[in-house]
A and B are shown apart, each in its own frame.
Chain A
Amino acid sequence: MNEPGPEGPLEAPRADSPYHRLNPLTKAVSATVTGIAALVLGGVIGPALLTLVAVIIPAAIAGVLRVLVRTTLLLSLPIGISAVLVNVFFFPAGRDVLLRVGPITATGEGLSLALEVLARILAISGAITLFYLTTRPSDFVADLEHRGVSSRLAFVANASAQTVPQMLERAGSIVAAQRARGLDTEGSIVRRLRALPPLVGPVILGTLGEVEERTMALEARGFSRPGRRTLLRIPADSGVQRLTRWLLVGGLSVLAASRILGVPG
C-alpha cells in the first residue's frame, strides 16, 4: 500500500495514486462495466484479459495489488469452489470423462464451464474490491450528492456501507465478553452453533437499541431539513473522465448488442 499522500486540510490521511485520485463515479462505472462485461463476454480468455486490464493493472498502479488479490480470493473462494465442484462433477451433458469416483464423473465440458464461471466470479469480485480499496465511501456519496442524488438516499447508502464494519467490531467485543464469561465459541460445528444465540442476540438487540438515540441525534442536527446539504468537498472530475465513462458505457452497450445479435467476436 502506498504511503499516505498529500491531502487537503479537511481530509483524512489516505493512500494516494493516480487511480485513487480518479473521480469516484469513474471508478464505479469502471467496476460496473467490468463486472457486466465479464458476464457478457463469456469464455475464459475474455474475462481474464478484462481482469488484467481493468483490475490487475489499475490495482498495481494504485499500490493495492497484494491486498486486492487476498480480498478477491477471500470473497470469491466459497462461491468459486462450489461452482467448480458442481460444474466439474455434475455437468449434465458432459461426455469427455476425466475422472470417475463411484457414481460421480468429472467431465472436460464441466471443467471448461467451471473455469468460465470462475473467471467471471474473479473479474466481478476483483472489480468490486478495487473500487472499495481505492474509494472512500464519503467521497462517493459526496460525488453522488453533487450530481443531484437525494442526500437522504446518499446517507442511507453510506451508513449501510459503514454499518458492516461497526457491527463486526461490536460482534468482536461481544464474542470476547462472552468468552470471558466461559462461553465456548470454538471446537465442533455443533458447539459453534450452540454458541451463536448468546452472540447474535446482543449484536442485533444492541444495534436496534441504539437506533432511537441515533435517530434523535440526527434530527437534532438538522437531518430532516428539506433541501440540499452543503458539501464540504466535491471530488474532482474532468472532461477526459466524463468522456471515458461514456465510452465505457457505450462500449459495453455495443458488446452486449453484438452478443445478443450473435455477431461473432
Chain B
Amino acid sequence: MLVLDTVSYRYAGAAGDAVTKISLDLRDQEVVGLVGANESGKSTVCLVASGLAPRAIGGVLGGRVLIDGADVAGRPIHELVGTVGICFQNPETQLSGVTETVFEEVAFGPANLGIDRDELVRRTGEALETLGIQGLARRDPRRLSGGQMQLVALAGLLALQPRYLVLDEPTAQLDPAGTRLVGEALQALAQRGSAILIAEHKTDLLAGLCGRIAVLQRGELAMLGGAQEVLADDRLEGLGIAAPVQGRLQRRIDALGLAATSIAPEPGR
C-alpha cells in the first residue's frame, strides 16, 4: 500500500505550502481519483506520491510517504521507479527525444535499469500489447497524435512494471478522440488490477474508473469517499469541479420532476 501520511509540501522558493497535511492511501489493485480546481494541489500530490518531490525538484516535504509501511524518504529516485511510476499531462515532454521508434521509446525506461536484453524486449512487447499499440511499434514517436503519444508514455511507464501508477491529468492536453483512447486504456489497466492514483478534471472519465475519489481544495483534502458518493455530492460545484454529465442530467431530471426513462437514449444510439 502507498500511503501519504499527513504530507505537506512547499516548492523551493515558495512562501507557503502547496499542499497541507494530506493523508491518503492507495491500496493494491485500487484506482483512486484526485479532483480539484486549478491550483488545488493535485499535481503536487502526484509529485510527492511518485517521489519526485522533493528529490528531483527540491522543496520541503513534511509528513511521510510510506510504501508497505516503510518510509521512502532518502531512497534515490531510480530505486523507486520499479515501485511507483508517474505520467504527466504533456505527452511530448515525456518522450525521451532520442529514440526513433515507439518500441525504443517504450524500452527507454527499463533499459536505464540495466535489465537483461531479452527481458527488456519481453517487457516492452508486453507493455505495448497491454495498451493495444503493438501496431505503432516501428512508428516515429514524435509523429504520433497526442492520444497515441500519451499511450506511448503510458506504455513506457508500464514497461518499468511499477506497482503503483500515478497519472497527473493524462488527458488534459488531448482532444476528445485522444481522451477516449487514453480512457479506454485506463479502463483496461484498472480491470487488470493496476493500482492507479489519477488526478483529473474530467469527472466523466473518473466515474467509471475509480473506486474512491479525493477532493482537494486550496492544498487541503476537502472530501474523500466512494466515487459514486463523492461525484454525486452537491458541494462539488462549489469546489470548482464539474460533476459527471450523467449526474448533472439526473439532478436536472429530478428537479423537473421527469421520469428518467422518458429521455433515456435508445440502446445503440
Contact = CB atoms under 8 A, between A and B. Distances in A.
Given A212-B57, A230-B120, A232-B107, A223 B100 contact: no
Interface in A8-38: 9-13
A217 interface: yes
B167 to A, nearest CB: 12
| Most chain B CB atoms below 10 A, which of A166, A219, A224 | A219
Interface in B68-110: 76-78, 81, 85-86, 88, 90, 92-94, 96-101, 103-104, 107-110
Contacts of B259: none
B112 A225 contact: yes
Contacts of B120: 230, 232
B98 A155 contact: yes
A181 interface: no
A178 interface: no
A231 interface: yes
Interface stretch (A50-58, A135-143, A190-198, A250-258): A135-143
B216 interface: no
A159 B108 CA distance: 13
A70 interface: no
Interface of B: 47, 50, 52, 55-57, 76-78, 81, 85-86, 88, 90, 92-94, 96-101, 103-104, 107-117, 120-121, 137-138, 140, 142, 153, 156-157, 160
Contacts of A231: 111, 117
Given A215-B56, A216-B88, A158 B113 contact: no
Nearest to B118: A230
A220 interface: yes
A225 B114 contact: yes
Interface residues of A, number: 37
B112 A223 contact: yes
Contacts of B99: 138
Interface string A150-162: 0000010011001
Contacts of A138: 98-100, 104
Given A219-B52, A219-B56, 7 more contacts: A138-B99, A163-B97, A210-B92, A221-B96, A221-B156, A222-B109, A227-B114
A224 B77 contact: yes
6 contacts: A10-B137, A155-B98, A220-B81, A222-B78, A231-B117, A232-B120
A220 B117 contact: no
A136 B98 CA distance: 11
Nearest to B142: A166
Nearest to B84: A220
Contacts of A137: 98, 100
B138 A13 contact: yes
B244 to A, nearest CB: 29
Given A137-B98, A138-B104, A210-B93, A219 B111 contact: no
Interface in A184-240: 210, 212-232
Nearest to B119: A230
Contacts of A225: 78, 81, 112-114
A101 to B, nearest CB: 51
Nearest to B139: A12
